[in-house]
Structure 1
Amino acid sequence: MTYLALDLAFLAAAGGIAVVLAASRKARRPATMPLLAAAAALLVLTAVFDNLMIAAGLFSYAPESLTGTAVGLAPVEDFGYPLAAAVLVPALWTRLRGREGFLRALLVSSRPVSWVNTAYPFAAAYLLAGGGVDWRLAVGTLFFLVPYNLAMYGTNDVFDYASDVLNPRKGGAEGAVLPPPLHRPALWAAWGGCVPFVALLVLGGGPASWAVLAVSLFAVAAYSVPGLRFKERAVLDSATSSTHFVSPAVYGLALAGTGLTPAAVAILGAFFLWGMASHAFGAVQDIGPDREAGIGSVATLVGARATVRSAVLGYLAAGALVAASGFMPGAAFMGTGEPMPVGASTAAAAGAGTGPAPGLLAGLLALPYAVNAAVFWGVTDDDAARTRAGWRRFLWLNYATGFAVTLLLIWIWMEQ
């Protein structure tokens, strides 16, 4: 089968589903201009990243399966998938929007805006460790993209209902307010959806990967379920939340069967500090509703001002640690032998000293987070809710930082 045939199959399926959804709904259809703008953005991003990744040698195509038409290095067939997404996703969202249906509640509860925050670390670590593009990468990425997030956030929304109904930021992109009748089916859907993925990943891994996956899933449950409720134990709440995002990366390394080097430990440690700082900063905006509902957190324990300042220091420490690591994926993650000295790996990635060190550039990516939190350096418990503006900026910073990290990884690959 050619890539063009695959494109046409995806487009036909997406178009057919969109037509059926539109025909079954009496409400107004999505506006045309936003759809065209989203499609254009997806096509531009596809062109940019396809060209960068193909130039870096990350993947290639069988010439006999292509039409030969390309945009730069990117075959035109690659643009069929973003077009299919641009057709299908708005149709699904419009179909579910405005209804209090179970599927919409699950979708909102899974925090789609944060899906990439767990899938990306797994996929990047697995590929950097030499795992290759295979079925384990596909299954693991899909698992950490949706089911993992639904289990994590859905469980939290069930057991945090008392505070969520008091929280003005809940009920949208930042989390669902799940009514009690949906609690039990939501838990069944969240954890039942994980079962087939976990079974496949267990079959594809070994004892080390099983242990990491078990820790990751335990942290997801322990954060919210009664009897454990790590989210109500100051400092442990931030550490557990950070584990939610760092463990997919550690699992990617374990699944690929690679050993940890000191540089890899430093990078993962920096990621962990970033995660703790982010959780602590995010908890400040919820001090009011959390205290009213009797829910404890690091922010309710030590107060808004101390929590914000600790988050700023945590971001700065994370940046310093990743800068010191050299941020050289080839030396940090691949192989089980002696790691390349940090200085040597940095020089190799930077063109033997002719350019800026990747570790320094990566370390600088923590500064916007520190500045964003430092804006609220003098915040008090009484006006803690104003840090919500900083949290919204944080969500956008994640996308900008992910973009920068991706470009940095591609640059390192091209220099090696």
Structure 2
Amino acid sequence: MSTPLPMLDLSRVNFYLKLSRPIIWIIILPYYLFPLGGRLDLLATWRFSLGLLFFTFPVNIMMFGINDMADTDVDKYNPRKAHDYFGNQASKSDLFGLWKVILVSNMIPLVVMSIITADWILYSGYFIVALSLNILYNLKPFAFARKAPWDLPFTSVGFLILVTLACHLNQVPLPKAGPCLFYVSSTLTNHMIAELLDIDCDALGDKRTTAVVIGKAYTCAFIGALIFVQLLILTPLSDIFIAMLHCGGDASILLSYIRQSFFRGQAACQSWEGSRSFLLSMYARYTAKFSLVVYAFAKGILA
């Protein structure tokens, strides 16, 4: 008598999918597409498709899954995590088995890449470095995410490693200095916006991010400066309209936060992410990012 196959637990699949933050994939995927810009011929290759899939769930479940394991003490204060698109307010027991999901979802595509490219060293090295960076960044006794300003270089280095992987897999040259500076400034902008949204709850949980250490006003000023740096870098690489469209998307969510926090007196840890102003600014930001990704991939301005 044959043993019946175990049923797939769709609730757990949905749980892990939420942990990977699908709404944030649009912020991660550009670092795969930007360095491949101008190479529309890659769309028909297996390398491109495999890499694109890898940059969705596998990359994000490692990044955000390990973060959630480290932040159970902080996330319980955070109403943002109650929204489906920003993860879950998961307990340690809820996260049981997450390591297995992270390892399997990353190792399978990386093994496929290694077999087909006959390069075991680079993809094994990528996995070791990426996993090590995420552990050092999130987990104690290291937890550099809680030791400002070390949270900033870890974020930038992590995304530059992803860019290197994208270039190697698709056999394209590494980007020039200008695009790399844009990658760093846009990565830091995304990171600081996320820290700003979590600043009150991180402070309650004694998570000393850069935003918590310097405070709301200086964090807003820092983000504004980063947006301006992006504008200065992007304008000569493309044109002023494209640069302003992209930077306007980041500025819209910053201005919406300033209006809500400084002029409407929103209470600490009160959910803003479900409000109309946040949703409108988020959609504006993502539309601007999507427009830049399409333009940059077609024209090769950030390759």
Report the secondary structure of 2:86's partner residue.
Answer: coil
Output aligned runs, 1:280-299, within 5 Å. Answer: 280-299=192-211
**Aligned AA (1:362):** I
Q: Gaps spanning 5+ residues in structure 2: where?
A: 1-7
Look up the match of 1:300.
212
Look up the match of 2:152.
238
The 2-side partners of 1:286 and 1:150 are apart by: 20
Look up the match of 1:396.
283
Output aligned runs, 1:318-397, within 5 Å. Answer: 318-324=230-236, 326=237, 358-364=238-244, 365-376=246-257, 383=267, 385=269, 388=273, 392-393=279-280, 395-397=282-284
Look up the match of 1:164.
75
CA change 1:202–1:411 in 2 (3 A) is closer
TM-score, normalization by structure 2: 0.78
Are 2:97 and 1:185 equivalent residues in the alignment?
yes
Output aligned runs, 1:3-402, within 5 Å. Answer: 101-126=11-36, 128=38, 132=42, 133-171=44-82, 172-203=84-115, 204=117, 206=119, 214-260=128-174, 264-324=176-236, 326=237, 358-364=238-244, 365-376=246-257, 383=267, 385=269, 388=273, 392-393=279-280, 395-402=282-289
CA change 1:397–1:230 in 2 (3 A) is farther
The range that moved more, 246-255 or 371-380, is 371-380
The answer to whether the 8 A contact 2:32-2:55 is kept is yes
The answer to whether the 8 A contact 1:126-1:249 is kept is no
The answer to whether the 8 A contact 1:322-1:359 is kept is yes
Q: Gaps spanning 5+ residues in structure 1: where?
A: 1-91, 327-357
**Aligned AA (1:237):** D
Look up the match of 1:412.
299
Look up the match of 2:3.
none
The answer to whether the 8 A contact 2:61-2:102 is kept is yes
**Aligned AA (2:55):** F
**Aligned AA (1:412):** K
Once the two structures are TM-superposed, the CA of residue 298 in structure 1 deviates from its matched residue by 0.8
The 1-side partners of 2:292 and 2:103 are apart by: 31
Of structures 1 and 2, the one with the larger relative CO (CA 8 A, separation 6+) is 2
**Aligned AA (1:369):** D
Report the secondary structure of 1:166's partner residue.
Answer: coil
The 1-side partners of 2:92 and 2:131 are apart by: 24
Once the two structures are TM-superposed, the CA of residue 313 in structure 1 deviates from its matched residue by 0.6
Sequence identity of aligned pairs in percent?
A: 17
The answer to whether the 8 A contact 1:119-1:248 is kept is no
The answer to whether the 8 A contact 1:163-1:293 is kept is yes
The 1-side partners of 2:174 and 2:108 are apart by: 29
Once the two structures are TM-superposed, the CA of residue 223 in structure 1 deviates from its matched residue by 2.5
The 2-side partners of 1:242 and 1:119 are apart by: 15
- Kindly tell me the number of residue pairs found equivalent between the two proteins: 283
Once the two structures are TM-superposed, the CA of residue 391 in structure 1 deviates from its matched residue by 6.0
CA change 1:393–1:174 in 2 (3 A) is farther
**Aligned AA (1:322):** L
CA change 1:305–1:385 in 2 (3 A) is farther
Once the two structures are TM-superposed, the CA of residue 158 in structure 1 deviates from its matched residue by 1.5
Larger Rg: 1
CA change 1:406–1:208 in 2 (3 A) is same
The answer to whether the 8 A contact 1:242-1:275 is kept is yes
The answer to whether the 8 A contact 2:29-2:55 is kept is yes
The 2-side partners of 1:209 and 1:360 are apart by: 38
The 1-side partners of 2:161 and 2:280 are apart by: 25
CA change 1:115–1:372 in 2 (3 A) is closer
The answer to whether the 8 A contact 1:120-1:141 is kept is no
The answer to whether the 8 A contact 1:241-1:276 is kept is yes
